A = this chain, B = another copy of it.
């Protein structure tokens, strides 16, 4: 299976890391094609950057999704996730949705873990958008770290452990979802040093793709995730314009 990894963060190292963790998690028979955003923010963290990401994600999908068997959306706010589900007819998963979904099958209340306060409301709104508020113990955050500190596990790991243990008391979290590609791969290192299950969204996402592939579900032709009606859009990248024009015939074909 060929999986398109769309990373709207304009940072190649994030794409690389996600692709590597995804490939390790997927095992043989999988090819991951990573595409990094060409416009937008290096590390997305605000409403405006999320909005830019949604369009970038569409642009990348219009250019690269043809011939792929699924899409792994590698942005922790799942920006553009349901948009992709609307315009594509292959399975699409987001790393935070997948992570939370997995966490709900091993706990009654999960917490999301992030760096910095700025994004906390955005994650809360994401949880509300998914309708999962009753299952979310809260969004916990560590003070922001420099890129250098983030890469030094001797610094990061102890901070994470303390925060996670604390969350079992303060908000009674029963599982932790690590948000963001920066955390990809770190769950394994934490595994035996904290008292809760720690979910890696990339690993969860890859497996959710496998699940959707196994279920072999049809593209809906009714509801908000059916193809949009065919339309003549203007001022957009060529592939995107073409895609919107073609929706009508795609629906007919079904």
Contacts and interface: CB of A to CB of B under 8 A. Distances in A.
20 contacts: A40-B236, A42-B231, A42-B234, A45-B229, A82-B108, A101-B104, A107-B223, A109-B121, A118-B229, A131-B131, A131-B132, A173-B223, A174-B223, A187-B215, A191-B217, A195-B226, A199-B215, A200-B215, A206-B214, A210-B210
A47 B207 contact: no
Q: How many monomers of this chain does the complex have?
A: 6
Given A225-B108, A235-B38, A214 B122 contact: no
Given A106-B212, A128-B134, 4 more contacts: A46-B224, A47-B86, A192-B218, A195-B226
Contact of A108 (B55, B175, B197, B223): B223
A interface residue count range (under 10 / 10 to 19 / 20 to 34 / 35 or more) = 35 or more
A172 B131 CA distance: 17
B235 A40 contact: yes
Interface in A114-139: 117-118, 120-122, 125, 128-135
Contacts of A216: 188, 191
A113 to B, nearest CB: 15
Question: Sorted from nearest, which 5 A-B pairs have the closest CB atoms?
Answer: A39-B235, A131-B134, A207-B211, A197-B217, A174-B223
Contacts of A196: 218, 220, 222-223
